[in-house]
Every structure is written in structure tokens, then in C-alpha cells.
Chains A and B, each alone.
Chain A
Amino acid sequence: MAVASPPQSIEEQRRWEGSLDQLRGLVSERAITGETMLLNMGPHHPSTHGVLRLLLELDGEQIVSCLPDIGFLHTGIEKSIEDKSYEKALPLTDRMDYLSPMSNNMAYAAAVEKLLDLDVPERGQIIRVVCLELARCASHLVWLGTHAIDMGAMSVLLYAFRERERILGMFEMLSGQRMMSSYIRPGGVWRDVPDDFLPTIKQFLNDFPAKVDDYEALLTQNPIWKDRAQGVGVIEPDVALAYGLTGPALRGSGVNWDLRKAQPYSGYETYDFNVPLGEHGDVYDRYLIRIHEFRESMKILNQAVARLEQVKGPYRSENRKYCPPLRSELGQSMEAVIHHFKLWTYGYDAPDDEIYNAIESPRGEIGCYIHGTGGNKPRRVHFKTPSFIHISALPVMAKGYLLADMVAIIGSVDIVLGDCDR
């Protein structure tokens, strides 16, 4: 069998690898001459959390530059939404950030509500807060498990997924679906919470704080974990702002910015909670912030569940021009049948104008830009997703650190490629 001999010269190696000219200006000159090594990481590398490909330029083990390559999970969600009426586009948003679909639903629903000038009843807002905070916990649990397994702490994953399973069970109670829930809809939520939901979530709220302590016992003071995480992937606050980081990645650098506090939506201004902040902007601080966010989410959930028991009333707007009537009304009211038929065939018209609305997802600011046409389909929907911004800032965070730190840095900004590519 003929075996190709290794390249004997730089010229020969270049012929093997194809042209480096397209990378000129993006990697340093030393990579063009072959002094530093270009290494491909992904798209199937287990710690790239999906299908992220990185082209790393290495000087020994040190990262000189890093070129992320995305688009492997691009599904054209924004294009598909342009061909659907506003209500029917909602299930597509589940598929963007598949670890916290509730946040995507909320981002889209809140944007449509703003475009239509539609109000949400109080009970609907409380149920939304419950869903959003449960989604935050579920998403952070996946992040915790995978981040830990990336850095060599194998057992945390099993503990984290055990608790996540309970949250997904609650989502199934609410919406009939564990993950792709499509529960939060323009005007409120799809249906009221079932009777057995409150006991279940109370049991969960009772158990969960002790579990968070367990995770902390495994990691926070663990010397190996600290060695891997402290002082790695540092990003200064002004750099983080310039690159548009949001969420825990920004708060890890000590910038006090949380849309739940700064620009409250869904009644977040009435809940008592704190925004945890880091100081060093490294992997360890971003880890601590998410751990503290579990506890703050528990605080919010406790208050929201108490309100859920007191506040009765509609869970979805009763503006029948935008929200379909209840099933029970259909047999009694001709008008309800007309509304039902109109809403599920044609949908509703939205103004020919543009709005941008942002909420705080577990990963950061998820913004939704909608430009209506005056008809029942939008002209353009654009999602500004936190993972997209965070991956574009990876080169800044990774520069100068070791190849092994890259895994920690990717994990610490908590990326989801479905969120990034849309």
C-alpha cells in the first residue's frame, strides 16, 4: 500500500492544505509563513456544545488567534417566520435556543405584544415569570453539567440532569411537551396551570436549594476546579461592553446590567431579588454568578408561586381580535366561532412598522426585531441572540491562553449553537 510521505517543505505542506490566502489579515503573518500552527477544533468536538468550529492559531500551546466558524445549524427560522402568521410562527422560536425555549417564546411573544399594543393579564404575567425562572434553572443546569464535564468533573452532569428532568416534567404538565413547549404566546400563556402543578413545584422549591449546595460542594472550593477556572478567559468590563456581551458573561466582569431590573417586563419589578456580580471577569466568576442565579431564581419562584395561589382570573388577554376564544365558548357564542375561525386561518393584521424588544434569557439579552407589513405576516423578524454575540467575542477572551483553557472559556460563556445560527 502506498503511503503518502509527510510534507517535506512549507511549500509542499501548503499545497496539501489548500490556500492560506483567504485567511490573510485574519490570522497573524506567522501563520502564513508556517511559524505558528493552525489547528481545527470542531465542529464535532464534544466540548464545542453542538456544532461550532474553531480555527485556532497556536504558538506551542498558546492561542495566538481564534476564528470561529458558525452556520452548521442554520435552519432559516427568520426566513420561515416571514411566511407564517404571527401566532403560527411561535413554535419555530422554540427551536432556536433549545435549552430554554420558554425564553425564546417570551422574547417573541413580548415583541408581538409590543407591536400590537396588547396587554397581558396579571395571572398570565405570573405564570410567565414561573416559566421563565424554571427555564433559567433548567438551562443553567445543563450548562453546569456540561461545563463541569468539559473540565473533568464527571459526576456533576448526572446530578444536574436529575434536577433538570424534574423541571422538564413540570413543563410537560404545563404544555404537554418537555422541551419544545410553545407555552408562552402573544397575549399570555396557552392555558392555565393544571391542578397538580402547584404541589409539584412546591416540592421542587423545597428540594432544590439543598441540591445547589451539593453542586457547590463538588466544585466551588475544589482546588482542581479553581486552578482550571480562576484567571482564565478574563474579559475587562469595557471590552465586554464594546463587544456587546450580556447576561452572566457581562455581569462576571462586574457590570451591573440585568434587563429584569433595568427594563422590567412581565412584572419583574414587583419581585424581590438580587443581581449577582463578579469582579474578575474570568471563568470562575461566570460560574459563581450562575450558581447564585439558581438561588435568586428560587427567591423569585417562591414569591411567584405564592401569588399564583392568590391571583385568579384570566391567564391570557381577552382581546378576541388577537387571542383565540376558549374552547368552552365555541359551543355557545357565534362570535367566538367567527373569532376562532378568523384567528386560526388568517391570523391578525399588525401595523406596518418596526419594534425591538429585549428580555433577559439565561444566556443574556435576547432581542426580537419585528417589522410588520400591515398584513398578517411580518416583513422581517430578526433575533439578536446572546450566543451569537458571545461566540463573536470568543477570540478576545481566548487570546493568550492555553489550548486546554479554550474548552473552559467556551463552556463559561454558555453557548447554544441553535441560538447562534437560528
Chain B
Amino acid sequence: MEIPAARNPVDVLRESFGEAILFVKEFRGETTVVVEAARSSDVLDFLRVSFGLVYNMLSDVSAVDYYPDDYGEGFDSDYRPERFAVSYHLLSMLYNRRLRVKVFAEEEDPRLPTATVVFPAANWLEREIADMMGIVFEGHADQRRLLMPDNWYGHPHRRDYPLGKETVAFSFNEAEIRKHKPFATD
């Protein structure tokens, strides 16, 4: 069977989705396509089944939080209109190349459509993001927390979630630290 020649994903997407393709960038040989959030599952499905593209595997879904200051309209060196971004890392085994499809979610009520209808592999990867970043994936069949306990407050991977740490005990502050830890004595 003859394999159809590989097509440039950016050209094909621009042709088929037009306005929904918001931004394209290249960095270290990796292509990132920013698409409109509402169309993301259409784009992913299109990339998966179209000849000359066949991105048949979802390698990774990862989220990034652009808090505190470098997102919004005024940020010009890169395209960052909103606070949260979710990247779908696709892999085409046939053509041996990768593509990153990126969608943005707003700060106040971050909601994105789920990709589990296209790639079942997105199931836990999206649950992890929902748990750690607090982005709700609409249409996801399982909305429970994945890594953190069910009664946990907050979303630890947000940049405004403080990284907890233990104060190191020296002789001058040991008594002060012990006071807060009544059960830690030997």
C-alpha cells in the first residue's frame, strides 16, 4: 500500500479551519498551533484522521499557568491572551513527527472542551490537569480528583499556590518551631 505524502499540518489546518487557527510558532524544531478553545476537539479529530497528517497518538497533555504577569493583550513576543494554556502533544507514527496543539482558558472560570472523545488517552491526563490546575474539562466522564485527596482545597500547580516548606530548626529558633509541633517530640 502506498503511503500518501506528508502534508504540512499548519497549511492544512489554516485551509480547513481558517479563523480558528489563532497563532503558529516554531521553537527548537517544534511546531505549536494555537487554536480556538471551542474548536479544539474538532481540530484534534481532524489531525488524527486526515491523510497526510495521521497524528494517531496523544503523547501528553500538559497545562501551564502564565501567572503573574506575562499574559494578556500587551504581551507581544508570544501569543498569550489568557492565563491558562493546555497543550496537546500529538505524535504521528506514520510520518514520525510531533505537533503541539495549544488552547487557552480564561482566568475566572477556566473551561475547555474535553479531548477524550477523540483520544481515550486524554482521560487521566485531563483529570490530572483538572485536579492540579483547576481547569474544568466539559464533557469529561469522570470529574473526580485524581492525585490529590477529594477534600483538598485549591489546585497545587497554579503559580499562586504557595510551595509549602518546613523551617529548618537551628538552636536559636528550635523552641519556636517545637511549639507548633506538639506531637513531633521523641
By a beta-carbon cutoff of 8 Å, the part of chain A in contact with chain B is 22, 25-26, 70-71, 74, 76, 78-80, 82-83, 114-115, 117, 241-244, 255, 257, 262-263, 351-356, 358, 365, 367, 369, 371, 379-380, 382, 384, 388-389, 391-392, 421
For residue B62, which residues in chain A have a CB less than 8 angstroms away from its CB?
356, 369, 380, 382, 384
Q: Which of B112-150 contact A (CB under 8 A)?
A: 119-121, 123-125, 128, 141-142, 144-149
CB atoms of A356 and B60 under 8 A apart:
yes
Q: Does B27 contact A (CB under 8 A)?
A: yes
Q: Which of B69-97 contact A (CB under 8 A)?
A: 70, 77-78, 87, 89, 93, 96
Q: Does B20 contact A (CB under 8 A)?
A: no
Count of interface residues, chain B, beta-carbon cutoff 8 Å: 43
Dominant secondary structure of chain B at its interface with chain A: loop
List the one stretch of B11-19, B51-59, B178-186 in contact with chain A: B51-59
Q: Which of B38-69 contact A (CB under 8 A)?
A: 56-60, 62-66
Residue picked from A114, A351, A365, A384, most chain B C-beta under 10 Å: A384
Taken together as a complex, chains A and B put the C-alpha atoms of A78 and B147 apart, in Å, by: 13
Q: A70-B147, A367-B60, A392-B123 are in contact. Are A354 and B27 (CB under 8 A)?
A: yes
Taken together as a complex, chains A and B put the C-alpha atoms of A195 and B186 apart, in Å, by: 46
CB atoms of B119 and A244 under 8 A apart:
yes
CB atoms of B78 and A353 under 8 A apart:
yes
Q: A114-B28, A356-B59, A380-B64 are in contact. Are A71 and B121 (CB under 8 A)?
A: no
Taken together as a complex, chains A and B put the C-alpha atoms of A380 and B70 apart, in Å, by: 14
- Find the B residue at minimum CB distance from A26: B142
User: Nearest-CB distance from A22 to chain B (Å)?
Assistant: 7
For residue A25, which residues in chain B have a CB less than 8 angstroms away from its CB?
141-142
By a beta-carbon cutoff of 8 Å, the part of chain B in contact with chain A is 27-28, 30, 32, 56-60, 62-66, 70, 77-78, 87, 89, 93, 96, 98, 100, 119-121, 123-125, 128, 141-142, 144-149, 156-157, 159, 161, 163
Taken together as a complex, chains A and B put the C-alpha atoms of A76 and B100 apart, in Å, by: 25
Which residue of B56, B65, B149, B156 contacts A76 across the interface (Cβ within 8 Å)?
Answer: B156
Q: A244-B59, A382-B62 are in contact. Are A115 and B28 (CB under 8 A)?
A: yes
CB atoms of A379 and B163 under 8 A apart:
no
For residue B57, which residues in chain A have a CB less than 8 angstroms away from its CB?
241, 244
Taken together as a complex, chains A and B put the C-alpha atoms of A70 and B27 apart, in Å, by: 34
Q: A79-B163, A358-B59 are in contact. Are A353 and B148 (CB under 8 A)?
A: no
User: Nearest-CB distance from B33 to chain A (Å)?
Assistant: 13
Taken together as a complex, chains A and B put the C-alpha atoms of A140 and B169 apart, in Å, by: 42
- Find the A residue at minimum CB distance from B56: A241
For residue B163, which residues in chain A have a CB less than 8 angstroms away from its CB?
79-80, 82-83
Taken together as a complex, chains A and B put the C-alpha atoms of A262 and B93 apart, in Å, by: 9
Interface pairs A-B: 3 shortest CB-CB: A244-B121, A384-B60, A382-B62
